[in-house]
Chain A
Amino acid sequence: MTRTVPISLNVNGRPRTVDVAPNHTLLEVLREDLDLTGTKECCLVGECGACTVIVDGRSVDSCLMLAIEADGADVLTVEGLAADGRLSPLQAAFLDKGGVQCGFCIPGQIMSAHALLAENPHPSRAEVEEGIAGNLCRCGCYEQIFEAILATAEGVER
């Protein structure tokens, strides 16, 4: 058995302590140890963005971050967005604008958008395009994703 290391982190506002293998990524720990499977796995090399989560306010590809690096961190995943059963404005906008087809890339898209809007609450369209440049959508619903993010920024969706 590989030696494990205990880490403590705050996930979606809930303190968690997990014994993690030193070679396991944050993605693996979220999905396999904490059963938070909303964060998706695809390329594992930081190119597709399906695994995007927010760590201490910054969006990261969780497939590239070792879990032990997240010791003590605040982690926000897609499961942490809806409060009291109500969709977050971004989630609602993705749904309303149709920014969802198969949905597999969507948690990552929404987390990247979340980080973008936190940093730049009123992005231009070009800034939105750039903001999700690291999130691939093979269904190609980029246009609706842009619309959803811009609508959220304008506060149209509540």
Chain B
Amino acid sequence: MSRDRIGTSPNRVGGIGRVTGSQQYVADIKLPDALEVKLVTLDVARARILSIDSTAALAVPGVHAVLTAADLPQPVPRFGPQFIDRPVLADGETKYHGEPVAAVAAESKDAAEEAARLVKVAYEELTPIVTIADALAPGADLVQDPSIRPNDPLAGTNVLREHRFGWGDVDATPADVVVEGDYTFPMVTHFAIETHAYIAAPDGDGISVWSTIQHPNWLQRILAGVLGMPLAKVRVYAPDPGGGFGGKQHAKYEPLVAFLALRTGRPCRLVLTLEETFKAVRRTTTQVHVRTGVMSDGSLAFVEVDADYNIGAYADIADRVVAKGSYPAAGPYRIPAVRILSRSILTHTTPATAFRGFGNPQVNWAVESNLDAAARAIGMDRLEIRLKNVARTGDTLNPVDTRCDGEWDQSVRKAAEMIGWGSPLPPGRGRGIALGIKSGPTTGLSYSTVRLLSDGSVIVLAGTSDMGQGARTVFAQIAATELGVPLERIAVVMGDTSIVPYDQQTSASRSTVLMGNAVLSACRDVQAKLRAMAARVHGIHEASITAEGGVVRLPDRELSVLEVLKPGLGRMGGEVIGNGMARKDAEPDHPLSGSAAFFEFNCTAVEAEVDEETGDITIVKHVTVSDVGKALNPLQVRMQDEGAAIQGLGHTLMEHYIYDDRGRIRNLGAIDYRIPTSMDLPLHMESAIVENADGPGPYGAKGMSEGALLCVASAVGAAVRDATGADLRDLPLTPEVVWRALRERDRKNAEVTAR
């Protein structure tokens, strides 16, 4: 029992299904009579569709439908979480490599694939806009139809939005030294091992949709809008996703599969291939110019950041990524003046979306690397400059936002100690240290219902998606702690919008805090009802009774929950239902429409060795320290921390899409796009936490699942710079990139010597 409470690490709830293979992911669900769907795509990025001929495809035995844009309601329905811009099928023109122009539904996958190949699409290839430079060139074609954002002065450009944040007056703030630089962050993809999958089935006068989605309630709203159905008739099932990382937050091809199901009257299933998933989701790629003003004593004077994010063909949630990711760009420091300008730029590339870190790692790479350059310029130690400037509890960061809510210097000192900062190193090795900060959720709404059944067992209803972070386990632990029930007697039900109460979303490392608080308050509601029940049964006043941790205390004795429940419910049985809610309202005048519920803070320190001949980097030691408030489940915290760190090593060392000038991704799939394997890990990795119970979540917890990814690149880049003296600006730090930087360093050194 004590192993079940918060602060311990019981076996994962849902773990047995995951080790036995009985866990059902969307692609494992087979509905009777289901048709298989295959997308019809073109091997170009941008093309004007002239005609689509489905005759041969429809002649394939077993084919039931070939859906084209012409078969959809007109104008072609569009959707999106931020802008209503993404059409259900390409509308007259494809805007990215792999955008579907039609979809086939057939009795078998083989038939669907064969028919998809036989759909004849006549098209005229157009020159795509691939890079930020292409998009901003004078007279560039517009990626988005300007009518999608009427009355927007930027509608005639490829800039979707500009965001300006800051305080103080950068121009009027004196600095002893100003250092500036340009940095780029690559286009990377989520590569969840579970590819995206969707099933839609007509359900009476409504529809049921299964999706690998992170936000089932948001998908329900999108589907209801596109299909013109009431929310109550759209039932979204969201089985635990096989990894999400942000890529599965928002609707992609669910509306398309829903239209196919309604048209054929049969369940329709679409399981994307990994290549198709690559074409569907990626992180925003970024070019950042940063200026750091510093005084000779090391105090920061100002930071100025210009960040251009390439967000692709449709906005998805990417503009929010740009705003929220660039907003804390100046870092966890006390700075008198900050000016940030970030822009979301449309191109004919894969629509970018949320990805763990949500726009922050991109600017962190630039700002933290530039801070190192500033330290070097004034001859100050890189750890010392950080300790000097890092905010202390209660310090103001952005004057309109949440103040520093942790003892962040504790994390920095701990990481420095763990990496052995300052101790001598063998030649060819170097160390780096970097700080990362990310605003937690700015708004949020989570409901939970906790049902105490007549035998004392418990059902927790919570609309979070457990995609590996372990939300089920944490919610069960909260209920176990509050109601004194062992985990084996608790069921956590998620992922069914017809049964589970509303949850806004599973993102921004919010669920432990927001849904956790909702579960906690639902448990407290159950406790209040138990008190009322005990008062009724024993004829005493409620105020004299307490209920806590499964014990109901009367003035003269203690009762177990069951001892109250049995007489309280009586012979007809029944249950005690508790409801809870956690809400963080929008703030209309806030630049992000809401201040941070908490900050995720992480310090990463790295020791690296560089092979001067090949440019190959070995991470000798990788240390990550996160300020988590309170670890409700220490093992899961460690796993989220290490997992985020390893994911960060991907974009730091190896991952990036390669586009050709026709806008096609040239390295689709697992052979040509490498992610960290068991052989690519640091020789030593250590994850530690700082706990001061200073978070807004249950028992003082903060969200923490993204922190350890924020500054991986910055710490690794700094270690490589320290080891070699090479100047690094562009990720990933592949052997080729590092080798070139080493030769550039040699060239510059030779120039200096020659002078």
- Cα distance A45–B16 when bound, in Å? 28
**B174-202 interface (Cβ within 8 A of A):** 190-195
Q: Among the listed B21, B61, B195, B639, which residue makes an inter-chain contact with A101, where contact means beta carbons less than 8 Å apart?
A: B639
Report the separation of the CA atoms of residues A35 and B30 in the bound assembly, to the nearest whole angstrom: 9
B678 beta carbon closer than 8 Å to chain A: yes
- Looking at B30, B468, B675, B679, which has the most chain A CB atoms within 10 Å of its CB? B468
A71 an interface residue at 8 Å Cβ cutoff? Answer: no
Q: How far is the CA of A55 from the CA of B644 in the complex (A)?
A: 34
Interface flags for B613-640 (1: CB within 8 Å of A; 0: not) read: 0000000000000000000000110010
> Are B9 and A98 in contact, with the CB atoms below 8 A?
yes
Is B671 a contact of A45 with CB atoms below 8 Å?
yes
Q: Considering only CB atoms, which chain A residue lies closest to B644 in the complex?
A: A140
- The A-contacting residues of B in range 1-33, CB under 8 angstroms, are 9, 11-12, 14-25, 27-28, 30
B28 touches A37 (CB 8 A): yes
In the bound complex, do residue B194 and residue A140 qualify as a contact, i.e. CB atoms below 8 Å apart? Answer: no
Q: Is there a chain A Cβ closer than 8 Å to B685's Cβ?
A: yes
Which B residues touch A42, using CB under 8 A? 193-195, 274, 670
User: How many angstroms between the C-alpha atoms of A2 and B190 in the bound complex?
Assistant: 36
CB distance from A53 to the nearest CB of B (A): 11
Partner of B671 from A2, A35, A47 at Cβ < 8 Å: A47
Task: Report the Cα distance A78→B23, complex, angstroms.
Answer: 12
Are B243 and A77 in contact, with the CB atoms below 8 A?
no
Contacts A130-B679, A135-B678; A87 near B19 (Cβ below 8 A)? yes
- Do A102 and B17 touch (CB < 8 A)? no
- List residues 658-679 of chain B with CB under 8 A from any CB of chain A: 669-671, 675-679
Please indicate the chain B residues that have their CB under 8 angstroms from the CB of A135 in the complex: 677-678
Q: Would you call A102 and B241 a contact (CB within 8 A)?
A: yes
The chain B residue sitting closest to A146, CB to CB, is B678
In the assembled complex, how far is the CB of residue B714 from the closest CB belonging to chain A, in whole angstroms? 19
Whole-angstrom distance from the CB of B247 to the nearest CB of chain A? 10
Within 8 A of B (CB), among A66-108: 77-79, 81-82, 87, 91-92, 94-96, 98, 100-107
* Residue tally, chain B, CB below 8 Å to A: 59
Q: How far is the CB of A127 from chain B (nearest CB, A)?
A: 11
User: Chain B nearest CB: distance from A141 CB in Å?
Assistant: 5
Is A26 in the interface zone, CB < 8 Å from B?
no
> Is B20 within 8 A of A82, CB to CB?
yes
Nearest-neighbour CB distance to chain A for B13, whole angstroms, equals 11
CA distance A39 to B244 in the complex (A): 19
A37 and B24 form a contact (CB under 8 A): yes
Tell me whether B642 is interfacial, beta carbon within 8 Å: yes
In the complex, the answer to whether B675 meets A40 with C-beta atoms within 8 Å is no
Task: Give 1 or 0 for each of A8-49: 1 = CB within 8 Å of chain B CB.
Answer: 000000000000010100000001100111111111110110
> CB-CB < 8 A to B85: which residues of A?
none
The answer to whether B337 has its CB under 8 Å from any CB of chain A is no
Find residues 244-301 in chain B having any chain A CB closer than 8 Å to their own CB: 244-245, 271, 273-274
**Main secondary structure on chain A at its contact with chain B?**
loop
Of the candidates B30, B273, B642, the one whose C-beta lies within 8 Å of that of A140 is: B642
Q: Are B685 and A143 in contact (CB under 8 A)?
A: yes
Contact residues in A for B677 (Cβ distance below 8 Å): 133-136
Contact pick for B273, options A44, A50, A94, A142, CB 8 Å: A44
Output the residue of A43, A129, A138 with the most chain B CB within 10 A. A138
CB within 8 Å for A95 and B193 given contacts A38-B21, A78-B20, A87-B20:
no
Name the contact of B18 in the complex, choosing from A100, A136, A140, A142 (C-beta under 8 A).
Answer: A100
A128-158 interface bits toward B, Cβ cutoff 8 Å, 1 = contact, 0 = none:
0110111111111111111000000000000
Partner of B678, one of A2, A104, A129: A129
Q: Are A103 and B468 in contact (CB under 8 A)?
A: yes
How far is A92 from B20 in the complex, measured between Cα atoms in Å? 10
| Cβ–Cβ contact B9 & A81, under 8 A | no
User: Which 7 residue pairs of A and B lie closest in terms of their CB atoms, listed nearest first?
Assistant: A38-B21, A104-B242, A103-B18, A102-B468, A101-B468, A140-B646, A140-B643
Question: Using a CB–CB distance below 8 Å, which chain B residues touch chain A?
Answer: 9, 11-12, 14-25, 27-28, 30, 61, 109-110, 190-195, 240-245, 271, 273-274, 467-470, 635-636, 639, 642-647, 669-671, 675-679, 681, 685
19 A-B residue pairings within 8 Å (CB atoms): A37-B27, A40-B194, A42-B194, A96-B11, A100-B19, A101-B639, A102-B243, A102-B468, A104-B242, A106-B18, A129-B681, A133-B678, A133-B679, A136-B191, A136-B677, A138-B192, A138-B675, A139-B468, A141-B643
Q: A139-B643, A140-B639 are in contact. List 19 more A-B contacts (CB 8 A).
A: A23-B110, A37-B21, A40-B194, A41-B27, A41-B271, A42-B195, A45-B669, A82-B20, A98-B11, A100-B15, A102-B193, A102-B468, A103-B14, A103-B19, A106-B18, A138-B193, A138-B647, A139-B639, A140-B647
Task: Give residues in A with beta carbon < 8 Å to B.
Answer: 1-2, 21, 23, 31-32, 35-45, 47-48, 50, 77-79, 81-82, 87, 91-92, 94-96, 98, 100-107, 110, 129-130, 132-146
